């Protein structure tokens, strides 16, 4: 005689310790097994795209800080690349190198945070978070030295960057780059060979290669599924073609691979940083751009490899001081559409961990 | 990717945690100890120089939010006299675009970051409150002359005291208990 | 003769009536035990928060009182001042009764813990069986708390409770039987007296199994699914506030203290030790055991519920049975042999069993299970 069961709906609501932001999921559970997931977004919608239509091109830069607030510099970079493509501005060499240094440090900081909170979702009670934040604090100090803030930097400008680096930046950055691989090895010792982490994450939340390409995923989620695609190599922007670095690829597309790809990307970012600091030329840091820029009529799409994926800005200009249309392509929203495929059939504990491994930031999804 | 068996992976992780018992804690006990801020910090305030401002309102035009309100009248020497210069510091996001835009260096970011008030209307600062004073010091953001005169920041990446790093106490027994200094 | 029995004889000698001596001796014993428990629970709360902070390279609470020793009292005062909310559709009687069912068995365990030489409230000759029986009652309390809250998160925790608590009782009891066979008696004082070499060295496998099972019974990392903060948001005590929540909180630390005392008594030779007074040795050992438990909490993530059950049934239970056979064989056929030879044999057997089990089974991470 079979036991009659019935599934019930659990609301993993907007206020939850583990949804990274205000994100709601309606989960249908059969005992402990997830049968259906329906995400509900929009709790952090601020209307940034509409606000962009009423501000000049320079005034939009602080707005873009607040999209993915954990990786603000790469947001700024994507936006000014789009504007420079639209207006046809060429920027000086020193500014290019400074942008790369800042973007790669930002990638390290964002990945530290992502991996730390992934482990917190697994249950390791904030210990890995605090160890990784110790390194992130050093990076935030360096950013504060250059542009004055720790979270919303507002550093990139149309035509270059806003300030030159002070003289104590380079020795401090060199010290950080030499110390960091030792700390990364320590994190591997804590996590990568821990049996409990392996048992919880290997084979769980698999995203097959074809599905990843079909839904348009990007970033570490795509690379962990085995697709060799990185915007820095496939469509090089800025001066990335002058640097020598690898792209780590995962094999199976499960949670462990996403974590592993992020750890390897941090090591590759350290390589790029060393090379960029060695090749840094002298010169100005900003090109001669009018204060109220009026680009010619047209459209442009500027995209970069942000830490979370491919971040793109689409601008349509009608020769006035403000854009006619300002649209943002957020990587995490597209990656999030794969959540249902990854999670159905696993247990509720796996749902939280898989969601954490996609590494969402709600500011980007809801804009 | 090296996998361990037989519980050795767990033992290695626990050995690392045990090693951390012997590293000094990195807590800075606010408000008795504070981290030093950088020379270019965009703190939670603006500093306005009365004598340099000509009332051109370039800063008001540069602000993404429209926080600055300037009212002037034409004075005796054919210049603008500023009657009202109000900044809504509650809406301000301290992006620094106004400071970069000012052509006369009359506006600077501040160095303080403890400027909360009990009422929202107290945060809208008038021109008397915004001026340079003992409690309102300018920072070096976009002002290289001011930046040259400020002390360098103690960086966390230089943990070592001899290289000018932050002083962190072992076990941090706070001598002055109580709220604030 | 325990200290209490001596005290009662003394009172009889002073010509007190029989019932008065019995009552006063009993009350004095109960008050001493309760004071010991409550003070140590509060010290444990402080100790855990500071130690967890040091593992995470930060300071723990250090504002209230020197080095923060009044922090648990402040926590208790804060919890007492909170409003007691009962959900509208909850089962009111069970909602009120559940914290009591969880907390009282913890206090009952301390009746048979030998704190020092002869300092035990009642020297039952079935001491360890009493402990196992009483500590299993808390599981009912946790399950009824989960059911009576009328909340789906609490219900999930309730499912997991039943599974976890029941699965981990078996290896626990089998490991205890190993110790009992070697000691030759069920009484707690006898077990401590018979440990010339502490049983942690004589039966390493038994110690490991027992330690892991007690951590699972206590719902602490890595087995703390019942109150998994990141998944089901506080699990079974999600709808409790005020004094009822304080009962759960104290009950959790009380459990930790109780099981640390049991581990010390069974495997670490209780109050025995050179130079220092016995009660000091007991407290040092209890703190060492608790420190190890906090160390595991700081490092390890948590297991999923089916992996947890697989670990108990496929891993710990067979090893416990084989351990029992080995110990029984040694006690039956080699009773007069030098104990150090047995130490070597047992450590070798433990090593072989652990290696064998790690190779034989995996904890199922690659299948879709329904």
| Tokens 């906090």 found at | C294
In a domain, A13, yes or no: no
* Nearest CB partner across the interface for A148, out of B3, B38, B97: B38
With b for 16 or more beta-carbon neighbours within 10 A and e for fewer, the A312-321 pattern comes to: bbbbebeeee
Instruction: Give the mean model confidence (pLDDT) for residues A78-101.
Output: 90
ipTM over 0.90: no
Domain hosting C139: range is 85-359
Residues C81 and C196: their CA atoms lie apart, in Å, by 50
How wide is the angle at C-alpha B97 spanned by C-alphas B92 and B99, nearest 5°?
95
User: Is residue C294 scored above 80 in pLDDT?
Assistant: yes
Instruction: List the structure tokens of C93.
Output: 């009687």
Instruction: Give the mean model confidence (pLDDT) for residues C334-344.
Output: 78
Which of A79-83, A233-237, B2-6, C122-126 comes out lowest in average pLDDT? Answer: B2-6
B9 touching A (Cβ < 8 Å): yes
- Chain A residues in contact with B26 by the CB 8 A cut-off are 134, 137
Instruction: Give the mean model confidence (pLDDT) for residues C65-93.
Output: 85
Domain hosting A286: range is 46-357
In a domain, A6, yes or no: no
In a domain, A364, yes or no: no
Instruction: Give the mean model confidence (pLDDT) for residues B108-128.
Output: 83
The whole-number pLDDT of residue A104 equals 92
One domain for residues B157 and B145: no
Residues A356 and A340: their CA atoms lie apart, in Å, by 14
Helix axes A93-122, A127-147, angle to 10 degrees: 160
In a domain, C264, yes or no: yes
User: Total structural domains in chain A?
Assistant: 1
Instruction: List the structure tokens of C129.
Output: 């069986």
- Please report, for residues A330, B20, C32, C170, C315, the alpha-carbon distance to residue C177 in angstroms, rounded to integers and kept in the order given: 61, 38, 30, 11, 18
How confident is residue C289, by pLDDT bands cut at 50, 70 and 90?
very high
In a domain, B131, yes or no: yes
Q: Confirm if A157 and A291 have CB atoms less than 8 A apart.
A: no
How confident is residue B180, by pLDDT bands cut at 50, 70 and 90?
very low
Q: Find, in chain A, the residue whose alpha carbon is nearest to that of C362.
A: A199
Whole-number average pLDDT of chain A: 88
User: Is residue A197 scored above 90 in pLDDT?
Assistant: no
In a domain, C40, yes or no: no
* DSSP letter assigned to residue B71: E
User: Is residue B179 scored above 50 in pLDDT?
Assistant: no
One domain for residues B108 and B164: no
| Tokens 């990139």 found at | A156
User: Is residue A302 scored above 70 in pLDDT?
Assistant: yes
User: Is residue C111 scored above 80 in pLDDT?
Assistant: yes
Distance of CA B103 to the CA centre of its chain: 22
B152 touching A (Cβ < 8 Å): yes
One domain for residues B66 and B129: yes
Sign of the CA dihedral A235, A240, A244, A249?
negative
Q: Considering chain C, what percentage of its residues have pLDDT values greater than 70?
A: 95
In a domain, B10, yes or no: no
In a domain, A184, yes or no: yes
User: Total structural domains in chain B?
Assistant: 2
One domain for residues B34 and B51: no
- The reply to whether residue A189 touches residue B100, judged by beta carbons under 8 angstroms, is no
* Nearest CB partner across the interface for A148, out of B41, B155, B157: B41
Domain hosting B181: range is 23-38+153-181
One domain for residues B76 and B126: yes
CATH (domain of A219): 1.10.645.10
One domain for residues B135 and B91: yes
Residues C124 and C189: their CA atoms lie apart, in Å, by 9
**Element holding C45 (H helix, E strand):** helix C18-55
Top pLDDT among B167 and A137 is at A137
How confident is residue A1, by pLDDT bands cut at 50, 70 and 90?
low
Instruction: Give the mean model confidence (pLDDT) for residues A294-302.
Output: 89
One domain for residues B132 and B175: no
How many Cβ atoms from other residues are within 10 Å of residue C209's Cβ?
Answer: 24
* DSSP letter assigned to residue C143: H
Q: Confirm if A56 and A321 have CB atoms less than 8 A apart.
A: yes
In a domain, C70, yes or no: no
The whole-number pLDDT of residue A107 equals 92
In a domain, A207, yes or no: yes
- Chain B residues in contact with C56 by the CB 8 A cut-off are 20
The whole-number pLDDT of residue A105 equals 92
How confident is residue C231, by pLDDT bands cut at 50, 70 and 90?
low
* Range A16-22, long-range pairs (CB < 8 A, 24+ positions): A16/C233, A17/C229, A17/C230, A17/C233, A18/A120, A18/A121, A18/A352, A18/A355, A18/A356, A18/C230, A18/C231, A19/A355, A20/A117, A20/A355, A20/A356, A20/A359, A20/A360, A20/A361, A20/A362, A21/A360, A21/A361, A21/A362, A21/A363, A22/A362
CATH (domain of B121): 3.30.70.3270
The whole-number pLDDT of residue B173 equals 42
Instruction: List the structure tokens of A334.
Output: 């597209």
Residues C330 and C195: their CA atoms lie apart, in Å, by 16
User: Total structural domains in chain C?
Assistant: 1
- Chain A residues in contact with B9 by the CB 8 A cut-off are 193-195, 198
B180 touching C (Cβ < 8 Å): no
One domain for residues B58 and B145: yes
pLDDT digits (tens, 9 = 90+) for B22-52: 777 777 777 777 777 888 888 888 888 888 8
Q: Considering chain A, what percentage of its residues have pLDDT values greater than 70?
A: 100
pLDDT digits (tens, 9 = 90+) for C237-275: 788 888 888 888 888 888 889 999 999 988 888 888 888
Instruction: List the structure tokens of B29.
Output: 């006990």
Q: Confirm if B156 and A138 have CB atoms less than 8 A apart.
A: yes
In a domain, B123, yes or no: yes
A161 touching B (Cβ < 8 Å): no
| Tokens 């050992």 found at | C285
In a domain, C286, yes or no: yes
How confident is residue B159, by pLDDT bands cut at 50, 70 and 90?
low
User: Is residue B172 scored above 50 in pLDDT?
Assistant: no
- Chain A residues in contact with B2 by the CB 8 A cut-off are 192-193
In a domain, C323, yes or no: yes
User: Is residue B1 scored above 60 in pLDDT?
Assistant: no
Under 8 Å CB-to-CB from C175, ≥6 apart: which residues?
C206, C207, C209, C210, C213, C320, C323
- Please report, for residues A215, B156, B164, B165, C231, the alpha-carbon distance to residue B161 in angstroms, rounded to integers and kept in the order given: 52, 10, 5, 5, 42
How confident is residue A238, by pLDDT bands cut at 50, 70 and 90?
confident
One domain for residues B144 and B157: no
Sign of the CA dihedral A205, A207, A208, A211?
positive
Under 8 Å CB-to-CB from A224, ≥6 apart: which residues?
A207, A249, A250, A253, A254, A257, A258, A260, A261
Sign of the CA dihedral A116, A121, A123, A126?
positive
How confident is residue A103, by pLDDT bands cut at 50, 70 and 90?
very high
> CA neighbours within 13 Å on the CB side: how many for C342?
23
Top pLDDT among A123 and B61 is at B61
- The reply to whether residue B155 touches residue A166, judged by beta carbons under 8 angstroms, is no
In a domain, B110, yes or no: yes
Residues A67 and A52: their CA atoms lie apart, in Å, by 12
How confident is residue C287, by pLDDT bands cut at 50, 70 and 90?
very high
One domain for residues B100 and B157: no
B173 touching C (Cβ < 8 Å): yes
Whole-number average pLDDT of chain C: 83
Whole-number average pLDDT of chain B: 77
One domain for residues B141 and B165: no
The whole-number pLDDT of residue A7 equals 85
Helices (H), ranges, C268-338: 278-299, 305-310, 317-333
In a domain, C230, yes or no: yes
Q: Confirm if A194 and B13 have CB atoms less than 8 A apart.
A: yes
* Range B142-149, long-range pairs (CB < 8 A, 24+ positions): B142/A162, B142/A163, B142/B96, B142/B99, B142/B100, B142/B109, B143/B99, B143/B105, B143/B108, B146/B108, B147/A166, B147/B39, B147/B40
One domain for residues B94 and B129: yes
- Chain B residues in contact with C58 by the CB 8 A cut-off are 25-27
The whole-number pLDDT of residue C290 equals 92
The whole-number pLDDT of residue A124 equals 79
In a domain, C197, yes or no: yes
A187 touching B (Cβ < 8 Å): no
Q: Confirm if B174 and B29 have CB atoms less than 8 A apart.
A: yes
Among candidate residues C236, C223, C252, C248, the one with its CA nearest the CA of residue C311 = C223
**Element holding B63 (H helix, E strand):** none
- Chain C residues in contact with B171 by the CB 8 A cut-off are 59, 67
In a domain, B7, yes or no: no
Instruction: List the structure tokens of A115.
Output: 């991996």
Count of pairs with CB atoms under 8 A, one residue in A, one in C? 95
The whole-number pLDDT of residue C370 equals 23
For residue A281, give how far its alpha carbon lies from the nearest alpha carbon of chain B (Å). Answer: 21
Instruction: Give the mean model confidence (pLDDT) for residues A311-334.
Output: 90
C295 touching A (Cβ < 8 Å): no
């Amino acid at each position: 005689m079979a036991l009659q069961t019935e599934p019930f709906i659990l609301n993993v609501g907007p206020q939850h310790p583990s949804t990274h932001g205000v994100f709601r999921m309606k989960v249908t559970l059969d005992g402990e097994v997830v049968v259906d997931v329906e995400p509900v977004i929009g709790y952090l919608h601020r209307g940034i795209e509409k606000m962009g239509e009423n501000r000049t091109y320079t005034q939009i830069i602080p707005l873009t800080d607040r999209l993915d607030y954990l990786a603000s510099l790469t947001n700024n970079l994507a936006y000014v690349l789009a504007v420079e493509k639209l207006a046809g501005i060429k920027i000086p060499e020193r500014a290019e190198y400074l942008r790369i240094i800042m973007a790669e440090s930002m990638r390290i900081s964002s990945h530290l945070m992502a991996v730390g909170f992934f482990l917190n979702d697994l249950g390791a009670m904030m210990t890995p978070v605090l160890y990784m934040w110790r390194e992130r604090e050093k990076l935030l100090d360096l950013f504060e030295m250059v542009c004055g803030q720790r979270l919303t930097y507002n550093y990139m400008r149309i035509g270059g960057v806003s300030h030159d680096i002070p003289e104590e930046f380079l020795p401090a950055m060199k010290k950080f780059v030499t110390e960091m691989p030792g700390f990364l090895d320590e994190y591997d010792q804590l996590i990568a060979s821990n049996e409990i982490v392996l048992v919880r994450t290997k084979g769980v939340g698999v995203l097959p290669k074809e599905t990843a390409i079909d839904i348009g995923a990007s970033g570490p989620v795509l690379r962990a599924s085995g697709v060799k695609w990185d915007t820095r190599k496939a469509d090089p922007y800025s001066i990335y073609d002058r640097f020598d670095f690898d792209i780590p690829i995962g094999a199976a597309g499960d949670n462990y691979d996403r974590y592993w790809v992020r750890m390897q990307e941090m090591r590759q970012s350290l390589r790029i940083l060393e090379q960029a600091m060695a090749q840094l030329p002298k010169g100005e840091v900003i090109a001669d751009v009018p204060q109220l820029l009026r680009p010619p009529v047209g459209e442009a799409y500027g995209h970069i490899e942000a830490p979370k994926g491919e971040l793109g800005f689409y601008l349509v200009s009608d020769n006035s001081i403000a854009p006619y249309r300002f649209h943002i392509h957020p990587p995490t929203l597209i990656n999030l559409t794969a959540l249902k495929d990854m999670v159905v059939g696993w247990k509720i504990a796996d749902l939280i961990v898989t969601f954490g491994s996609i590494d969402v930031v709600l500011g980007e999804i809801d804009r | 990717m090296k996998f361990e068996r037989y519980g050795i992976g767990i033992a290695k992780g626990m050995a690392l945690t045990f090693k951390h018992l012997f590293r000094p804690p990195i807590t800075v006990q606010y408000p008795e100890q504070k981290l030093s801020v950088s020379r270019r910090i965009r703190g939670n305030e603006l500093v306005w120089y009365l004598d340099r401002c000509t009332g051109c309102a370039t800063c008001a035009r540069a602000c993404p939010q429209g926080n600055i309100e300037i009212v002037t009248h034409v004075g005796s020497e054919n210049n603008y006299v500023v009657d009202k210069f109000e900044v809504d510091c509650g809406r301000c996001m301290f992006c620094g675009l106004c400071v970069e835009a000012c052509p006369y260096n009359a506006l600077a970011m501040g160095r303080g970051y403890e400027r909360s008030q009990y009422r929202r209307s107290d945060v809208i600062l008038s021109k008397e409150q915004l001026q340079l004073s003992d409690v309102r010091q300018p920072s070096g953001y976009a002002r290289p002359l001011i930046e040259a005169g400020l002390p360098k920041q103690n960086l966390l990446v230089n943990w070592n005291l001899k290289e000018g790093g932050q002083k962190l106490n072992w076990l941090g027994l706070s001598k002055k208990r109580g709220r604030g200094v | 003769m325990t200290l209490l029995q001596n005290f009662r004889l003394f009172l009889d000698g002073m010509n007190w009536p029989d019932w008065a001596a019995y009552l006063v001796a009993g009350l004095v014993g109960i008050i001493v035990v309760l004071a010991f428990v409550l003070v140590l629970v509060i010290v444990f709360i402080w100790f855990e928060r500071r130690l967890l902070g040091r593992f995470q390279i930060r300071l723990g609470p250090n504002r209230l009182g020197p080095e923060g020793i009044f922090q648990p009292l402040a926590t208790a005062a804060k919890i007492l001042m909170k409003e007691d909310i009962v959900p509208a559709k909850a089962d009111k009687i069970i909602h009120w009764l559940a914290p009591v069912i969880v907390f009282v068995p913890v206090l009952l365990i301390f009746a048979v813990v030998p704190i020092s030489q002869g300092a035990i409230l009642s020297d039952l000759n079935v001491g360890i069986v009493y402990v196992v029986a009483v500590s299993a009652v808390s599981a009912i309390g946790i399950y009824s708390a989960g059911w009576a809250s009328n909340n789906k998160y609490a219900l999930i925790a309730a499912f997991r409770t039943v599974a976890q608590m029941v699965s981990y009782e078996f290896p626990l009891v089998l490991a205890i039987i190993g110790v009992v066979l070697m000691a030759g008696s069920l009484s707690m004082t006898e077990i401590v007296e018979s440990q010339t070499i502490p049983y942690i060295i004589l039966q390493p496998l038994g110690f490991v199994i027992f330690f892991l099972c007690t951590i699972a019974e206590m719902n602490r990392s890595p087995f703390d699914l019942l109150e998994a903060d990141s998944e089901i948001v506080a699990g079974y005590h999600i709808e409790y506030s005020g004094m009822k929540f304080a009962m759960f909180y104290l009950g959790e630390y009380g459990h930790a203290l109780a099981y640390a005392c049991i581990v010390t008594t069974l495997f670490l030779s209780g109050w025995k030790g050179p130079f220092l007074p016995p009660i000091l040795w007991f407290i040092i050992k209890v703190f060492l055991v608790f420190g190890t438990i906090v160390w595991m909490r700081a490092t390890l993530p948590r297991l999923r519920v089916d992996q947890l059950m697989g670990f108990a049934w496929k891993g710990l239970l067979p090893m416990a049975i084989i351990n029992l056979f080995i110990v029984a064989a040694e006690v039956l056929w080699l009773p007069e042999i030098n104990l150090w030879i047995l130490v070597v044999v047992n450590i070798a057997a433990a090593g072989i069993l652990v290696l064998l089990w790690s190779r034989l089974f995996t904890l199922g991470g690659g299948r879709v299970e329904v």
